[in-house]
Amino acid sequence: MEPRAVVTPRGEDRIAGGHLWVYRSDVADVQASGGEVVAVVGARRRLIGRALYSDRSQIALRLLVHGDRPVDAAFWRARLEAAIRFREGLGIDATAYRLVHGEGDLLPSLIVDRYGEHLVVQSLSQGIERALPEITAALVEHLAPAGILARNDVKVRALEGLGQEVALLHGAVPPAIPVREGPIEYEVDPWTGQKTGLFLDQRENRAAGASYARGRLFDGFSYNGGFAMRLAASCDQVVAADISADAVARIEANVRRNGLTNVRAIEANVFDELRRLERERERFDTIVLDPPAFAKNKASIERALAGYREINLRALRILSPGGCLITCSCSYHVDEAAFAQVIYEAAIDAGVHVGVVEKRMQGRDHPVLLGVPETYYLKCLIVRRIE
């Protein structure tokens, strides 16, 4: 008998509304083991589709297909090929980008990133973990990569009852891979670097920001200097700040690699540094704020909003009239409207007028699936201080 899960009317409505997740509270009955593909059945025993089942996570079901369609090797191959084909049509000017973006590619809880001739994958659910051999075989068949690395060392796997590990799945993956993003080159550490090696979702925002950058630039929460280096060609002086000494060392190495002479990296708490710059009446023509996620869950939203308000207030006070602030939030729990409200309130408190030049989001290789708001996490506003 095929493994199956019976969902409540609320769970059925959730799927009908376009979401791919069904929470444990909306599963009325289940006859399956964790990681299996199950037939999803409605209250009237009507087959809705097939999904990945987790016996540990609060997200019990992740829908793969609607109706009576098989989930087999051909399924994984077709979905992966569709995702890859989409990226090939984007004309991405980089050798590092996302190939598979989980729910955004109808492959929930699967991440695949490309770094030159190598791939890095993350399996974030029991079901994807079980299907990883088939997924790996399909990637090898379609792309013939030099190596595939599993970066399964992320904390979210604990919610699935999965261990944290880094494992070689195919070929060989070196400790350092040279990649290019537009005119900028990086050296990626796929084995221990953040995420799968780099933050790939800001690529297009960095390119957009270069169109507005000028004069003196402050790049806060710089990490590896991505914004600082991409915008440096348009600026006279660049200060890239990060609280991590390791990050500062990475920025300095990347700056040398790209032959940039106008970028200075400093180790600093950005909150404190912005206050210091304000006290000393420093002025910048361009400011970038790309902090880590301040809101990890709903309980931290208010504190996160206060944090965003604080850094944007300080930034607007040291931004020269006519200058641009490129400000970001990667907190899913802080939606676009709330983030825009924060910038508005910061401008009021700073006593300045700002105009929105562009509203941006994560790069096109990180698609948002309508009906799954969790896939829209990165907000980026480019605003101009009018006076």
Instruction: State the first-to-last Cα distance of the chain, in angstroms, to the nearest integer.
Output: 70
Of 235, 324, 328, 330, catalytic: 330
Residue 91's alpha-carbon distances to 79, 114, 191, in angstroms, are 20, 15, 27
Q: Find the Cα–Cα–Cα–Cα dihedral 59, 65, 69, 74, rounded to 10°.
A: -100
Q: Where are the alpha helices (DSSP H) in 152-217?
A: 203-210
Known catalytic residue at 330: yes
- β-pair partners for 240: 219, 265
Q: What is the CA radius of gyration of the chain?
A: 22
Q: How far apart are CA 162 and CA 157, in angstroms?
A: 5
> H or E segment at 60?
strand 59-66
Class of residue 52 by CB neighbours under 10 A (exposed 0-12, middle 13-18, buried 19+): buried
Residue 291's alpha-carbon distances to 5, 41, 241, 274, in angstroms, are 40, 42, 11, 13
Tokens of 14: 């959730």
Residue partners of 276: CB distance under 8 A and separation at least 6: none
Percent of the chain that is helix, strand, coil (3-state, to 5): 35, 30, 35
Whose tokens are 């089942």? That residue is 53
**What single-letter DSSP state applies at residue 212?**
T
Whose tokens are 């040279």? That residue is 178
How many other C-beta atoms can be found within 10 angstroms of the C-beta atom of residue 207?
A: 17
The residues assigned a catalytic role are 330
